[in-house]
Chains A and B, each alone.
Chain A
Amino acid sequence: MKLSRTQFGLSAVIAALGLSAFPAHAGKTLDAIKARGQVVCGVNTGLAGFSQADSSGNWSGLDVDVCKAVAAATLGDANKIKWVPLNAQQRFAALQSGEIDILSRNTTFSLTRDASLGLHVTGVTYYDGQGFMVTTKSKIRDAKQLKGQTVCVQSGTTTEKNLTDFSKANNLGIKPVVFEKVEAATGAYFSGRCVAYTTDASGLASVRNKEAKNPDEHVILPQLISKEPLGPMVRRGDDEWFAIAKWVIHGLLEAEEYGVTQANVDQMKSSTDPVVQRLLGTTEDTGKLLGLDKEWMARAIKAVGNYGEIFEKNVGPKSALKLPRGANNLWNKGGLMYAYPVR
Chain B
Amino acid sequence: MAVASRTPPKKRDWSWRSQAFRGLLYQILAVAVIGGAVWFLAHNTVENMRVRGIKSGFDFLFQPAGFDIGEPLFGYDSNNPYWKAFLVGVGNTLRVAIIGIILTTILGTLIGVGRFSRNGLVRGLCYAYVEFFRNIPVLLQLLMWYLLFTELLPDISEAKQVGSVFLSKGGLTYPAPVWVSGHAWMFAGLIAALVAVWFYRRWAHRQFEATGKQPGTFWGSVAVILLLTVGGWFIGGSPTEMRVPVKGEFAVEGGASFTPEFLAVLFGLTLYTAAFVAEVVRSGIASVPRGQSEAAQAIGLSRGQEMQKVLLPQALRVIIPPMTNQYLNLTKNSSLAVAIGYPDVVSISNTALNQTGRAVECIAIIMLVYLTTSLSTSFFMNWYNAKSAIKER
Contacts and interface: CB of A to CB of B under 8 A. Distances in A.
Interface of A: 4, 6, 10, 13, 17, 20, 22-23, 25, 88-89, 92-93, 96, 112-113, 115-118, 138-140, 145, 148-150, 152, 155-157, 160-161, 163-165, 167-168, 174-181, 184-185, 188, 191-193, 195, 235-237
Contacts of B22: 6
Interface in B233-255: 248, 250-251, 253
B66 A192 contact: no
B70 A178 contact: yes
Nearest to A173: B68
A191 B151 contact: yes
A191 B150 CA distance: 6
A112 B357 contact: yes
Contact of A178 (B55, B169, B343, B359): B343
A191 B153 CA distance: 10
B339 interface: yes
B261 A177 contact: yes
**A118, A155, A176 interface centre (most CB from chain B within 10 Å):** A155
Interface stretch (B43-51, B126-134, B265-273): B43-51
Contacts of B350: 89, 155-156, 180
Contacts of B219: none
Contact of A156 (B69, B78, B260, B351): B351
Contact of A191 (B47, B147, B343, B347): B147
B296 interface: no
Interface in B26-41: 26, 29, 33, 36, 40
A253 B28 CA distance: 65
- Give chain B's interface residue range (CB within 8 Å of chain A): 35 or more
B155 interface: yes
A168 B68 CA distance: 9
Contact of A160 (B53, B55, B151, B351): B351
Given A148-B253, A156-B351, A164-B78, A116 B54 contact: yes
Given A138-B157, A177-B261, A192-B150, 11 more contacts: A10-B29, A17-B40, A96-B52, A112-B355, A112-B356, A116-B54, A118-B49, A145-B250, A150-B70, A155-B338, A160-B68
B353 interface: yes
Contacts of B67: 160-161, 163-164, 176
A168 B78 contact: yes
A144 to B, nearest CB: 12
A89 B52 contact: no
Contacts of B155: 192
Contacts of A165: 66, 78
Nearest to B353: A89
A109 to B, nearest CB: 13
A237 B52 contact: yes
B382 to A, nearest CB: 34
A177 B52 CA distance: 34
Contact of A167 (B25, B36, B68, B338): B68
Interface in B61-91: 66-71, 78
Interface in B331-356: 338-341, 343, 347, 350-351, 353-356
* Chain A CB within 10 A, most for which of B25, B53, B55: B53
A235 B341 CA distance: 31
Contacts of B355: 112, 160-161
A155 B354 contact: yes
Contact of A149 (B251, B261, B338, B351): B251
B100 interface: no
Contacts of A88: 354
B131 to A, nearest CB: 29
A138 B53 contact: no
Contact of B341 (A20, A22, A140, A184): A184
Given A116-B356, A178-B343, A179-B340, A163 B68 contact: yes
B53 A118 contact: yes
B78 A117 contact: no
Nearest to A148: B253
B54 A148 contact: no
4 smallest beta-carbon distances between A and B, as pairs: A156-B354, A118-B53, A118-B54, A116-B55
A219 to B, nearest CB: 14
Contacts of A150: 70, 156, 170, 251
B54 A96 contact: yes
20 contacts: A6-B16, A6-B25, A13-B29, A89-B350, A112-B355, A112-B356, A118-B49, A118-B53, A118-B55, A150-B70, A155-B347, A155-B351, A160-B68, A161-B67, A164-B68, A165-B66, A178-B343, A184-B341, A191-B169, A192-B155
Contacts of A148: 248, 251, 253
A181 B354 contact: no
Nearest to A180: B338
A126 B40 CA distance: 42
* Most-contacted residue by chain A among B52, B69, B359 (CB, 10 A): B52
Interface in B151-192: 151, 155-157, 169-170
A178 B341 contact: yes
A135 to B, nearest CB: 9
Contacts of B55: 115-118
Interface string B119-156: 00000000000000000000000000001001100011
B32 to A, nearest CB: 9
A188 B68 contact: no
A156 B355 CA distance: 7
Contacts of B151: 191
Given A155-B351, A184-B339, A236 B52 contact: yes
Nearest to B248: A148
Given A93-B359, A150-B70, A192-B156, A178 B351 contact: yes
Contacts of A168: 78
Contacts of A179: 339-341
A165 B359 CA distance: 24
A163 B52 CA distance: 31
